Structure 1
């Protein structure tokens, strides 16, 4: 393989266009997950402005680009998926039929190990050391919103009736509702981040927006717009007051759900659920094929989904002492976390404990 490694700012316009082209054609070649906006060049470039060690490997065959592999690395040669911890899709974006040798790619990138936690399907050279595979619920809207809603009525009739009734009641009580699919007011984005931070604290989770780089990343992506990619802020208003909002990323065919939150004062109306239905309706009108709700066990995801795709976590390693040491440190932590998350008899008590801690923190 002819492998060249670049800093994000060194990537040429031609390479960005080729990368985007691979994503645009992915669904035609049986790799639709490669169209996810977390795998877009815009996301990699935004991460590069917020984090150190971001690199992009370009693999060429016969002088023409064949694949793009964004990653982050340390001086010791530890590699991580770009945006590890906040990215919901990871892997190599490539032309149809391209395959690669994992060890050779790592060697060409100066990596002893590459760690991922949301590897998309179809990345066979990276799957040899998968430590776990997890569902990521999806809302299919490629046949239009009406078809999706009809399927939802069949799959979850009580949920659908209840959510639509709550939307009507919210409209009556608030003198009307209004949905904005692409809100451009940065003050509303700030409101969403404040809601989300409060939610993290209430539920005992770590506040992602306490990390300056994540706040900066979201703000940067909010202002990033190209023909196939955009940071999308969607807002449900009751009268003139925002009651639920979501910030995610859009590619040509996928809306990746990322940061949803709502005003707790309106909780009885389930504004977050109403918002997701309005998002699906507007996204379908824009030609989006599906909403990716992201990995994680949530009751609302089970109600809204039409199917699930799979993402994996694990490592790719070369024979190298750095790889051995890194995996020895990380494997026990991951194994413990996944044992808790995937087993209800462990997850439910842990979740209750975190919420109690959150209530104490919020006082």
Structure 2
């Protein structure tokens, strides 16, 4: 393989056009998942502004591009998927029929190992190195919202009836309910991030928005817009007050759900669920084929989904001391995390512990805020 490695900003316009064209036609080529916005050049370029070591490998055949692999490289030669930790889809974007050797590609990128945690399906060369596979639920709306809602009523009649009733009650109790699919006010984005940070703390999870690079990435993507890619902020308002919001990424045919949150003061109305139904309706009207809810089993995803994709995690490693050291550090952590998540008898007590820690953190934070006012 003829492989060259570039900084994201150095990619030629012809290469970017080829990359985008393959994504645009992915559903016609039988690999619709390659159209995921996390696999777009726009996401790689935006991440490159926030993280060091972002590179794009270009594989060429007969003088033209055949495939693109974005990755992040450490000084030691450890490679990881671009935006790993927040990216919900990773892999090689390629022309139809392209085949590759995973280790040859990793070697050509100048890496000892390449790690992934949301590998897209249909990439057998990488998948052979996977250590686990996981469900990524989706909401199909290519047949229109009415078809989706009808199927939801059949699959989950009580859930559908209850959610729609809560939306009506929300309007009766607090004023007119209004939905904006593509809100452009950055102040609302800031409110969403504040809600999400509070949710992370409340549930004992690490606050992603406490990391400047993630906050900067989301803000940059919010302002990134083209015919084939955009950051989409969707908001549910009640009497012009935002009560739930979601920030995700859109390609021509896929809306990747990313950061949903809501105002806890309205929790009894399930505004997050109402928001997702409104998102599905607007996405269908906008020509989206499906909403990707992302890896992870959660009750709301199980209720809303129509089917599941499969994503994988693992690493392609060469026989190299750096690769051996990286796997030795990472493998035990992944194994423990996945075991806990997959076994209710372990996950439920761990989840309760995290929430208890979150409540203690929130209480201490409130005490600090109160003292600072005096």
Q: CA deviation at 1:123?
A: 1.1
Q: Return the alpha-carbon distance in structure 2 between the equivalents of residues 189 and 49 of structure 1.
A: 20
Residue pairs, 1:78-227, within 5 angstroms:
78-227=78-227
Number of the residue aligned with 2:328: 328
Structure 2's unaligned 5+ residue stretches are: 364-374
Task: Tell me what 2:370 maps to.
Answer: none
Instruction: Structure 1 unaligned segments of length 5 or more: list them.
Output: none
TM-score normalised according to structure 1 size: 0.99
> What's 1:229 paired with?
229
1:7 aligns with 2:7: yes
- CA displacement at 1:118 relative to structure 2: 0.1
Distance 2:173 2:228 in 1: 38
User: Following TM superposition, by how much is the alpha carbon of 1:246 offset from its aligned partner in structure 2, in angstroms?
Assistant: 0.1
Measure, in 2, the Cα distance between the counterparts of 1:294 and 1:104: 30
Counterpart-to-counterpart distance in 1, 2:352 and 2:75 = 40
Cα distance in 1 between the residues matched to 2:156 and 2:251: 28
Structure 1 counterpart of 2:284? 284
Q: What is the alpha-carbon distance in structure 1 between the residues aligned to residue 189 and residue 182 of structure 2?
A: 11
- State the Cα distance separating 1:207 from its structure 2 match: 0.2
**Aligned-partner Cα distance in 2 for 1:301–1:325:** 36
Question: 2: CA distance between counterparts of 1:157 and 1:112?
Answer: 51
TM-score, structure 2 as length reference: 0.96
Q: Equivalents in 2 of 1:8, 1:175: separation in Å?
A: 47
Q: What is the CA–CA distance in structure 1 between the aligned matches of 2:359 and 2:163, rounded to whole Å?
A: 27
Distance between the aligned counterparts of 2:163 and 2:330, measured in 1? 41
Tell me the distance in 2 between the aligned counterparts of 1:129 and 1:347. 27
In 1: Cα distance, 2:135 partner to 2:120 partner: 11
Q: Measure the CA separation in 2 of the matches of 1:110 and 1:15.
A: 21
Which residue in 1 is equivalent to 2:67?
A: 67
1:77 to 2:69 alignment: no
**What CA distance in whole angstroms lies between the structure 2 residues aligned with 1:316 and 1:266?**
46
Q: How many residues align?
A: 363
Corresponding residue SS for 2:27: helix
Residue 18 of structure 1 corresponds to which residue in structure 2? 18
Q: Secondary structure at the match of 1:315?
A: strand
Distance 2:79 2:41 in 1: 18
Distance (whole Å) between structure 2 residues aligned to residue 155 and residue 340 of structure 1: 29
1:104 CA displacement: 1.1
When structure 1 is superposed on structure 2, of 26-35 and 139-148 the one drifting more is: 26-35
Structure 1 CA distance for aligned equivalents of residues 352 and 31 of structure 2: 39
**Equivalents in 2 of 1:122, 1:8: separation in Å?**
25
CA distance in 1, matches of 2:129, 2:287: 36
- For 1:205, what is the secondary structure of its paired residue? coil
In 2, distance between residues paired with 1:175 and 1:336? Answer: 47
Distance 2:322 2:191 in 1: 43
Stretches of 4+ aligned residues off by more than 6 angstroms? none
**1:244 paired residue number:** 244
Give the aligned partner of residue 32 of structure 1: 32
